[in-house]
Amino acid sequence: MATLSTVRANVADLLRGRTDLASQIDAEIQNTIRQYNRRVNWLTERRGGTVTTVAGTTWYSTIDLTTGKGFGDSTTGTTPTSTEDFKNIIKVIYAKLEQGAIDWPLTRVSYDEFERLVEGNAVQGTPDYYTTFAGEIGLWPTPGTVYSIYVSAFWKPIIPTTDSDESVWFDENLELIEMSTARRVAFKWLHDPELAGTFALGEKEQDDLLLAEGASRTTTARLKPTLF
């Protein structure tokens, strides 16, 4: 499996052996992953994270993703090792309340509709609705006891910081990360826009392939009739 040190060495080779730019390359690897982490993408899917409620608390800022399943799990270093900030969730796809053998699907509502439900209403009970705003998830009715809320969502995978760190991006789209990093270093640190432009072409090619694979994973492969 590729690690941060592997990717750093590969990028240095792309930049004609610029091993003297190790710290800059590391920073731009991280910036590249931050950029692509912001996108709703099949690599950032995570199924079955858990929000544990507290009686009388409407809003929650943390989620346990260690209990969930994401692309590239197992020994790749892509699974969270502790509770994550909810602000690292890009988009919730599905949420349900789990109570014993009973699954209770929650209905997503807009933030303003949620606030109107909560406004002046002190009711507590079993949540029926949820919304997300300001890096938190809100539940209404406000939980009256401890519940386990199952959440599937797009999230921001771990950004590698040490030499041995791995990433789902390294495993599934290494060339995208390398090309983007080389482009950034060439433009920002070598002040060579022509070289940066060369890497930009490679980055776009890999990004297009990533988007095409995502489309193939989500399409129904069926044609929908259209009235003319």
Mean pLDDT of 80-89: 87
Please list the alpha-helical segments (H only) found in the chain.
Answer: 4-14, 22-37, 111-118, 168-188, 193-218
Q: What pLDDT does 80 receive?
A: 77
Q: What pLDDT does 71 receive?
A: 76
Measured distance CA(142)–CA(149) in Å, rounded: 13
Q: Where are the domains of the chain?
A: 4-38+160-218, 44-155
pLDDT level of residue 190 (50, 70, 90 thresholds): very high
> Does residue 75 register a pLDDT over 70?
no
| Cα 137–Cα 139–Cα 143 angle in degrees, nearest 5 | 130
Q: What is the pTM of this model?
A: 0.85
**Tokens 């969730």 sit at which residue?**
89
The per-residue DSSP string of 11-74 comes to HHHHTTS-GGGHHHHHHHHHHHHHHHHTS--GGGEEEEEEEE--TT--EE-EEB-TTSEETT-S
Contact between 148 and 98 under an 8 Å Cβ cutoff? The reply is yes
Q: What pLDDT does 7 receive?
A: 97
Q: List the one residue out of 157, 141, 153, 158 whose CA is nearest residue 51.
A: 153
All residues at 6 or more sequence positions from 208 whose CB lies less than 8 Å from its CB, including other chains:
none
Helix (H, G, I), strand (E, B) or coil at 199: helix
**Tokens 């789902």 sit at which residue?**
168
pLDDT level of residue 202 (50, 70, 90 thresholds): very high
pLDDT level of residue 86 (50, 70, 90 thresholds): very high
pLDDT digits (tens, 9 = 90+) for 4-43: 999 999 999 999 999 999 999 999 999 999 999 999 988 8
Per the prediction, the chain carries an average pLDDT of 90
Q: What percent of the chain has pLDDT over 90?
A: 71
pLDDT level of residue 180 (50, 70, 90 thresholds): very high
Interhelix angle 4-14/22-37, rounded to 10 degrees, is 110
Tokens describing residue 218: 């989500």
